[in-house]
């Protein structure tokens, strides 16, 4: 069986979707061994400051091929031309890949790229994975209704598509996942802290990921003022531009901003922490209803206690039995959740153990098997 996976994305990237794309491609091949799957990941030739080999950068098997197609990449000029650069890149990438996909024999064409729907809808073996609900849904609705199958990452997204006329049995809810083996590290907390020269005598509260407003990083920064001096708050992630802004915005708070680190390091950062925070904002629909954060599953796999915003998107996976849920966009509430975990070790161990048990159902391999069963 041959699969073409189309992703209009810069690979490697510091953003989480790069992890999802690469791990899904790896899992399609390794989980479909009984079907003898061959997979090509089709991506654009983008300007990229990350020069590492994608397979090494993400630590995935070389069991699939990556093909890059030309495009006019003006996205780096977004400060000057806004979304026009993205549209130019998207259109030119699609123009170059279209002849290849048109004549390439494939059993499955799988894409996260909405623009592909315009060009490839006549293909009956086209399947779309939705991660957001587009503000311009009316442009895609006619095309989405003609698809045989759609994969979404949350139940809320499925509900929205159904309200817009998509038949329920055409939609599969498949939350994101995690590579459990990558996070099953033998090093203890002390060794992980020594690896990064972190203090051994303080409590560490950790957030991994981007510093975007909808991800709630600002709420955690402000929550630090309500924590005692023996508790340190770390942020691992963010682009140079966002780090500069975030640091200036929060100079009054006791926080440590590490910046972007290779994904291979993340299991050790998580193990070094005492509390992991998922402070998503309730002010953005993508955060409140649509997101299925990869870091949530990584947190669960790390066997560390989690404090998270009480949002419908998060509650699809986390609840009172496996995390502490707090009022979103509320620094005081977040700090109280953090202190509850730090002050009750038995409780922290209990929710960590339940989260780890729950995450066994959310591996990339199981996600792929569910998708293949749904679309074949």
Sequence-ordered list of residues with C-beta below 8 angstroms from that of 198, at least 6 positions apart, any chain? 192, 204, 272
Are residues 370 and 355 located together in one domain of the fold? no
Shared domain for 164 and 240, answered yes or no, is: no
Return mean pLDDT, the chain.
Answer: 93
Instruction: Dig out the tokens for 295 from the structure.
Output: 């870091």
Please state, in angstroms and as integers, the Cα–Cα distance from residue 104 to each residue in 32, 98, 124, 196, following that order. 21, 10, 14, 47
Residue 133 sits in the same domain as residue 247: no
Flag whether pLDDT at 79 surpasses 80: no
Residue 141 sits in the same domain as residue 261: no
Residues 327 and 368 in one domain: no
Report the percentage of the chain scoring pLDDT > 70: 98
Same domain membership, residue 246 and residue 168:
no
**Domain shared by 213 and 264, yes or no:** yes
- Residue-wise pLDDT for 153-167, tens only, equals 999 999 999 998 899
DSSP string, 188-237: -HHHHHHHTT--SSSEEEEEES---GGGTHHHHHHHGGGS-TTEEEEEE-
pLDDT tens per residue, range 206-230: 999 999 999 999 999 999 999 999 9
pLDDT digits (tens, 9 = 90+) for 82-101: 778 888 999 999 999 989 99
Does residue 224 share a domain with residue 341?
yes
Residues 61 and 136 grouped into a single domain? yes
Q: What is the mean pLDDT of residues 137-147?
A: 77
CA distance 209 to 72: 28
| Domain match, 302 and 316 both | yes
Sign of CA dihedral 176, 26, 299, 241: negative
CA distance 142 to 138: 8
Structural domain count of the chain: 2
Q: Which residues contact 260 (CB under 8 A, 6 or more apart)?
A: 14, 236, 237, 238, 239
Proportion of the chain above pLDDT 90, given as a percent: 80
User: Containing domain of residue 75, as a range?
Assistant: 2-178+363-375
The residue-averaged pLDDT of 28-53 equals 91
Dump pLDDT digits (tens) for 341-374: 999 999 999 999 999 999 999 999 999 999 999 9
Name residue 231's beta-bridge partners: 203
The total of other beta-carbon atoms located within 10 Å of residue 332's CB is: 14
Q: What is the largest CA-CA distance in the chain?
A: 63
Q: Are residues 140 and 28 in the same domain?
A: yes
Sign of CA dihedral 133, 136, 140, 145: positive
pLDDT at 143: 78
CATH number at residue 66: 3.40.50.2000
Position 138 confidence tier, pLDDT thresholds 50, 70, 90: low
pLDDT in tens, 217-274: 999 999 999 999 999 999 999 988 899 999 999 999 999 999 999 899 999 999 999 9
Q: What is the pLDDT of residue 227?
A: 98
């Amino acid at each position: 069986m041959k699969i073409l996976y189309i992703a209009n994305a810069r690979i490697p990237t510091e953003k989480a979707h790069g992890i999802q794309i690469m791990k899904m491609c790896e899992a399609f091949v390794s989980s479909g061994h009984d079907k003898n799957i061959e997979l090509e990941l089709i991506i654009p030739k983008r300007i990229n400051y990350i020069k590492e080999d994608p397979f090494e950068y993400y630590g995935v098997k070389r069991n699939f091929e990556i093909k890059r197609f030309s495009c006019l990449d003006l996205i780096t000029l977004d400060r000057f031309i806004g979304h026009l650069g993205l549209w130019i890149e998207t259109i030119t990438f699609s123009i170059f890949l279209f002849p290849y996909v048109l004549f390439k024999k494939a059993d499955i064409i799988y894409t996260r790229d909405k623009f592909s729907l315009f060009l490839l809808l006549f293909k009956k073996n086209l399947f779309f994975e939705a991660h957001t609900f587009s503000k311009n849904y009316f442009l895609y609705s006619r095309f989405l209704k003609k698809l045989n199958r759609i994969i979404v990452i949350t139940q809320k997204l499925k509900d929205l598509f159904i309200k817009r006329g998509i038949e329920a049995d055409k939609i599969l809810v498949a939350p994101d996942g995690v590579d459990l083996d990558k996070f099953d590290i033998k090093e203890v907390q002390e060794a992980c802290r020594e690896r990064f020269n972190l203090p051994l005598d303080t409590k560490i509260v950790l957030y991994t990921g981007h510093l975007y407003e909808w991800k709630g990083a600002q709420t955690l920064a402000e929550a630090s003022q309500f924590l005692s001096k023996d508790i340190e708050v770390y942020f691992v992630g963010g682009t140079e531009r966002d780090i500069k802004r975030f640091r200036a915005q929060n100079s009054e708070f006791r926080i440590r901003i590490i910046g972007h680190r290779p994904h291979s390091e993340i299991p050790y950062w998580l193990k070094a922490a005492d509390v992991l925070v998922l402070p998503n904002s309730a002010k953005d629909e993508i955060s409140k209803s649509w997101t299925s954060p990869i870091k949530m599953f990584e947190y669960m796999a790390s066997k560390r206690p989690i404090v998270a915003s009480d949002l419908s998107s998060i509650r699809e996976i986390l609840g009172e039995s496996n995390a502490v849920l707090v009022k979103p966009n509320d620094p005081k509430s977040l700090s109280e959740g953090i202190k509850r975990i730090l002050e009750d070790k038995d409780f922290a161990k209990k929710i960590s153990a339940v989260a780890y048990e729950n995450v066994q159902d959310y591996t990339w391999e199981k996600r792929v098997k569910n998708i293949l069963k749904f679309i074949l």
